[in-house]
Amino acid sequence: MLQLNQIHKIFNEGTPDEKIAIDHVNLTLKPGDFVTVIGSNGAGKSTLMNIISGVLIPDVGEVNIGGKNVTNMSEFKRSKMIGRVFQDPMAGTAPSMTIEENLAMAYSRNKMRTLRQGVTKKRRDYFREVLESLHLGLENRLSAKVGLLSGGERQALSLLMATFTEPSILLLDEHTAALDPSRAELITNLTREIVDKYKLTTLMVTHNMQQAIDLGNRLIMMDKGQIILEVNKEEKKQLTIESLLMEFKRIRGVQMASDRAVLS
């Protein structure tokens, strides 16, 4: 479904700040794969996400989605096939617009936008139905402005907006990191439910090792722009935080650098 071939990306090339963000990365996701990505700050996780979603264009390499080469396709065209949830709960929704209007915009993601009304009666019924699956009571607040929702509610809505049109790829960029533990757990559970329901091919970046172990069928660890560890389905079942940290130390010969990653 998703194929990355020899992706290489350098920031500030030719200046003293030159930094290799992604170092010849290869990654293939089969349909239905749910891959969690961990790694310390600056490992290149977010850059990888940005390259897949088209915010950044790789210096070298190829991005294939569904067998189609999309390396140079602009972000907005590509996002017909890619659902995305950002870390910041403010980023995934339009605050001054209502819940149903936000859903209507997500609804027309993979269609041509026309001069038809965005929210029709038929669509409203459908929105109510999909909102019920969040169990947050949002289905009764369709015409409330999204700016009035809490961070957790907004993130749940973003998750729904990213997924209910069943995109080919779902990208989750630390989407629970800005929430308190109970809300984060709620979103984690919703993520599991929704990905299961639509059988989405998913790539999830996280700082939370336990979350990375609990969710998905594959796990990759990144460091300094490289994928240094790949854990497949069978091995992943036996994985613990300790064994992951040990593994990192064994490969890199140093302690994992991120306090956040260790503590969570």
Q: What residues between 142 and 171 interact with another protein by CB under 8 A? A: 161-162
Shorter beta-carbon distance to another protein: residue 63 or 256: 63
Give the nearest distance from C-beta 202 to another protein in angstroms.
16
Size of the site for another protein (CB under 8 A): 34
Q: Give the residue with the Cβ less far from another protein, 24 or 151.
A: 151
Task: Give, as ranges, the residues between 39 and 58 that touch another protein (CB under 8 A).
Answer: 53
When asked if residue 228 is in the footprint of another protein (CB under 8 A), the reply is no
Least distance CB 16 / another protein (angstroms): 26
Which residues in 108-147 contact another protein (CB under 8 A)?
108-110, 113-119
**Is there a contact between 235 and 218 (Cβ–Cβ < 8 Å)?**
no
User: Alpha-carbon distance 60 to 163, whole Å?
Assistant: 30
Give the Å distances, CA to CA, from 184 to 30, 119, 159, 176. Answer: 27, 30, 12, 5
Q: How far is CA 49 from each of CA 3, 61, 73, rounded to the nearest angstrom?
A: 13, 15, 15
What is the spatial distance between Cα 121 and Cα 124, in angstroms, rounded to a whole number? 5
The token duo for 253 is 């010969």
Separation of alpha carbons 37 and 25, rounded Å: 13
SS (H, E, C) 38-65: EECCCCCHHHHHHHHHCCCCCCEEEEEE
| b/e sequence 23-61, b meaning 16+ C-beta within 10 Å | bebebebeeebbbbbbbbebbbbbbbbbbbbbebebeeb
Of 62-70, 90-98, 174-182, 195-203, the window that binds another protein (rule: CB under 8 A) is 90-98
User: What does the alpha-carbon distance between residue 145 and residue 157 come to, in Å, rounded to a whole number?
Assistant: 12
- Least distance in Å: CB of 82 to another protein? 8
- Per-residue binding string, another protein, 58-77, x by CB under 8 A, is ----------------xxxx
Which of 105, 130, 142, 177 is in the footprint of another protein by CB under 8 A?
105
Whether the CA torsion 235, 237, 242, 244 is positive or negative: it is positive
**Based on CB atoms, which residue is closest to another protein, 157 or 261?**
157
CB 52 within 8 A of CB 63: yes
Least distance to another protein, CB of residue 123, Å = 10
96 binds another protein (CB under 8 A): yes
> What residues have CB less than 8 Å from 147, skipping those under 6 apart?
95, 96
Minimum CB distance to another protein, residue 201 (Å): 17
Residue pair 29/37 in contact by the 8 Å Cβ criterion: no
| Nearest residue (CB) to another protein, 78 versus 218 | 78
Q: How far is the CB of 193 from another protein (least distance, A)?
A: 22
Nearer Cβ to another protein (8/145): 145
Nearer to another protein, 131 or 162 (CB): 162
Residues that bind another protein (CB under 8 A): 53, 74-77, 79-80, 82, 84, 86, 90-97, 101, 104-106, 108-110, 113-119, 161-162
